[in-house]
Amino acid sequence: MTTAKPHAPRAGLAAGAIARIAAVALLAVAGFVAINGAHAATIEFVNQNAPGVGFNDPTPALPVGGNPGTTLGEQRLNAFRFAADIWAAHLVSEVPIRIGAAFLPLDCNATGAVLGAAGANQVVANFPNAPIVGPWYPTALAAKLAGVDFAAPGDPHIVARFNSRLGLFPDCVPGLTFYLGLDRRAGDQIDLVATLLHEIAHGLGFQTFTDDETGAFLLARPSVWDFYLIDNRRERVWAQMTAAERVASAVTWRGLSWNGPFVTMSTPSVLSPASVLTIGGASAGAAAGDYAVGDASFGPPIRNAPVSAQLMPVIDQANGTGLACSPLSAVNALAVRGNIALVDRGTCDYVVKARNVQAAGALGMIVADSQPGEVAGMPGLDTSIAIPSARITRADGQRLKLALQNRARTRSGLVARLQSDPTRLAGTDSRRRMLMYTPSVNAPGSSVSHFTTEATRNLLMEPSINSDLRYVVTPPGDLTLPLLGDIGW
């Protein structure tokens, strides 16, 4: 048997998984405990905050959303317990799972922040009952499978960190604080329970220990993750690929899938048919074809409200872009009435744009990204929005705008059709295997250790915490538990 210790959790965009190693230990196991029967797991909290801060913060707090704590620290603890109990009810292990947790200052600036980071505190290979001989397993899973606690007494199996400064300081997304209620009513705040569920999943094994930037295995050994992470163009898993091939696949859009039976059998019950934008019409020219889109959380789902009409841009800025953040001018309203409006991302919420183009008579809205990158969804909630919306990449937006240059005032000759693609689920490859997160610019600790942002519905293990997450880890609400089942839970 072999063990190793990864070091401090690494941070991703919104949350991260550990991957790097600081010290190595090769340990022999002295004795084994027999497993008898199966029942839910026990999760123990190891408070790693110093007195007076984090989970021990004595700042008075008013009870919120079913969280009766009267101090900030108590409320954080209650939220932790609530999330841990959800996981404990879904797992089976004879060995109690210890989570070392702390609120600490993590990376942030005025507009973005790391919410949390977590991962296994130790990895183990070639232990008794290991389903696959060779790869690293996270210590909590190895303990479950072997019926032996490989950690030293009291040592945590999982280390989790949460941002203590989030929303509380001018240099850390001021105003965007953790919501400490237990009732899924985070609104515009960040739901701490959802964040906890996400980070605990990383620690249970929702991560590779292989370096996603260099492709290097941890101490020359693949992770159990790497036996399920498959390059869907070559049909080879990470464990079989070279480091250079792993690096290339990690930044290939829609290039990596999860090849595990529990996840794949569950995708049809969890995901919706993929939405697609098709451009045609007499003036489409080189812009004709299918475009990948991200779905909106507001308005009717595209599968229930397909729409086809002339595509017309909103132009309300001096530089030729259209933000649609205020009611449309007469000229813009004339352009989008009875048509599908093309607007640009930025400055205001998506629902504000949708309200404005809907008020002007548009039948649908397409938002072109203002930043480079892959397609992603559009958050927001507004029950007054009755038109379908979709988001496209900046590059695709530029391609469409080029084709729209010769339009008339009320028609463009480009016909946009928003509909669902019956051959594909939103977030899977053509074999209905879940796509993994592979942004074209590597996001260390986030790339490959999350599900794709293309999933609809939104999933717990996407790289960001979406506002519509429920506290669910199983189908038909989520795919996190099936993935953990694939690796041995």
Binding site for Zn ion (CB under 5 A): 15
Instruction: Report how far residue 449's alpha carbon sits from residue 223's, in angstroms, rounded to the nearest whole number.
Output: 12
Q: How far is the CB of 12 from Zn ion (least distance, A)?
A: 6
18/180 with CB nearer Zn ion? 18
Q: Which is nearer to Zn ion, 15 or 403 (CB)?
A: 15
| Residue 15 vs 426, nearer CB to Zn ion | 15
Please provide the distance, in angstroms rounded to a whole number, between the alpha carbons at the two ends of the chain: 19
- Tell me phi and psi for residue 25, to 5 degrees: -140, 135
17/445 Cα distance (integer angstroms): 5
β pairing state of 415-425 and 273-280: antiparallel
Residue 20 or 424: which CB sits closer to Zn ion?
Answer: 20
Q: Which residue is nearest to Zn ion (CB)?
A: 15
Alpha-carbon 307 to chain mean position: 28
Query: Closer to Zn ion at the Cβ: 268 or 373?
Result: 373
Min CB(342)–Zn ion separation in Å: 33
Q: In the bound complex, what is the minimum distance in angstroms from residue 436's beta carbon to Zn ion?
A: 12
CB neighbours (10 Å) of residue 28?
A: 7
Question: Minimum distance from CB of 37 to Zn ion (Å)?
Answer: 33
Contact 261, 253 (CB under 8 A): no
Indicate the residue among 15 and 415 with the shorter CB distance to Zn ion: 15
Residue 207 identity: Q
Instruction: Please report how close the Cβ of residue 250 comes to Zn ion at its closest, in angstroms.
Output: 15
Identify the three-state secondary structure at position 46: strand
Nearer to Zn ion, 15 or 88 (CB): 15
Task: Closer to Zn ion by CB, 15 or 173: give it.
Answer: 15
Rounded Cα–Cα distance for residues 299 and 385 (Å): 5
In the bound state with Zn ion, the residue whose beta carbon lies nearer, of 15 and 229, is 15
Residue whose CB is less far from Zn ion, 198 or 355: 198
List the 389-392 sheet strands across, edge first: 289-292, 273-280, 415-425, 307-313, 340-344, 364-368, 389-392, 294-295
Please give the single-letter amino acid code of residue 400: L
Determine the 3-state secondary structure of 10 from DSSP.
coil
Cβ 451 vs Cβ 479: under 8 Å: yes
b/e per residue, 401-419, with b = 16+ CB within 10 A? bebbeebeeebbbbbbbbb
Can you count the helices (H) and strands (E) in the chain? 9, 22
| Shortest distance, position 49 Cβ to Zn ion, whole Å | 21
Give 420 or 480: the residue with its C-beta nearer to Zn ion: 480
Q: 104: which strand partners?
A: 163
**196 near 109, Cβ under 8 Å?**
no
In the bound state with Zn ion, the residue whose beta carbon lies nearer, of 80 and 350, is 80
Taking the complex as a whole, how short is the minimal distance between the CB of residue 463 and Zn ion, in angstroms?
6
Residue 207 CB, nearest distance to Zn ion (Å)?
Answer: 8
CB of 118 vs Zn ion, minimal distance in Å: 8
E strand or H helix at 142, and its extent? helix 139-146
- Shortest distance (Å) from residue 465 CB to Zn ion: 9
| Complete DSSP assignment for 465-486 | --TT--S--STTT-SHHHHHHH
Q: Which is nearer to Zn ion, 17 or 315 (CB)?
A: 17
Q: Among residues 325, 234, 298, 344, which one has the least CA distance to residue 467?
A: 298
Which residues partner with 158 through β-bridges? 99, 120
Residue 267 Cβ vs Zn ion, minimum distance, rounded to whole Å: 20
**Closest distance to Zn ion from the beta carbon of 54 (Å):** 20
Provide the minimum distance between the beta carbon of 326 and Zn ion in the complex, in angstroms, as a whole number.
36
3-state helix, strand, coil split of the chain in percent (to 5) is: 20, 25, 55
Nearest Cα neighbor of 359 from 391, 393, 325, 316 is 325
